[in-house]
Structure 1
Amino acid sequence: MNLIYHIVLATDWKQQETQTDYKAASLQTEGFIHLSQKEQVNGTLNRYYQNTPNLLLLHVDANRLKHELKYEASTNNELFPHLYGPLNKDAIVRIEELSV
């Protein structure tokens, strides 16, 4: 299994609970959904989610994704996974509650 991760506010996730696909706000504004590799999750949390309560970490099997996944240079020229389309929920293998 090739796991990648997506951080989402629990309230945003709940709003799309009954949908078969998840559409992060960035899909509309940037054209893709931001994801992280395991070793990038803590850095992403520290940079963008400090003191943000009620976060979930979606564990995603990249092999099950239905849309194009690209690894592109982002913060500090690190390659981050970007999903160019909605995240099909059957690719999510675990949802973890985070405490930041």
Structure 2
Amino acid sequence: MTDRIIHHMCRADEWDAARAAGSYPGSSQDAKDGFIHFSTAAQVEESAAKHRAGQDGLMLLTVDADRLGPDLRWEPSRGGQLFPHLYAALPVAAVLRADPLPLGPDGRHVFPADFPFSPLETAP
């Protein structure tokens, strides 16, 4: 299974540090699990609600999975669904766009108006 476009949520300060360094090592939870967690467009909103509920100051990274090579593996997780897991640092060059993921008045994350994105889109 493979979707070309996958997503990761991180704090804005983590993304700023990654851009300066050229790669993103993942969050503390990613480090604990041994891989960087990603979701497909169909999975990411539920992932946000389950794993990032109430967290403000997040970024939604849109990543070209084809640029990640064999370190990207599709593995069963929530409900047996296959999720993309990256067993390496995320190269900033693989990130097509990074969008703020603010909280709405209901406490849920507000995804960009043009989400899900076309595979041909790049950062605004």
TM-score, length basis structure 2: 0.74
The AA in structure 1 aligned to 2:46 is G
Offset from partner CA, 1:20-64 (integer Å, 9 cap, x none): 111013443222100000100100011011111111000000111
Instruction: Note closer, same or farther for the CA distance 1:47–1:64 as it changes in structure 2 (3 Å cut).
Output: same
Q: Which residue of 1 aligns with 2:122?
A: none
CA RMSD of aligned residues (A): 1.6
Moved over 6 A (4+): none
Q: Which residue of 1 aligns with 2:12?
A: 10
Runs of 5+ unmatched residues, structure 2: 103-108, 110-124
Are the equivalent residues in 2 in contact too, given 1:7–1:56 (CA < 8 A)?
yes
- State the distance in 2 between where 1:32 and 1:52 align: 21
Q: 1:84 aligns with which of 46, 68, 87?
A: 87
**Higher mean C-alpha deviation, range 42-51 or range 22-31:** 22-31
Identical amino acids, percent of aligned pairs: 33
| Residue 94 of structure 2 corresponds to residue 58 of structure 1 | no
Q: How many residues align?
A: 100
The AA in structure 2 aligned to 1:39 is A
Instruction: Note closer, same or farther for the CA distance 1:51–1:23 as it changes in structure 2 (3 Å cut).
Output: same
Offset from partner CA, 1:50-96 (integer Å, 9 cap, x none): 11111100000011115511111111111100001000110001001
Larger relative contact order (C-alpha < 8 A, sep ≥ 6)? 1
Max radius of gyration: which structure?
2
Structure with more of its chain in strand, by fraction: 1
TM-score, length basis structure 1: 0.90
Runs of 5+ unmatched residues, structure 1: none
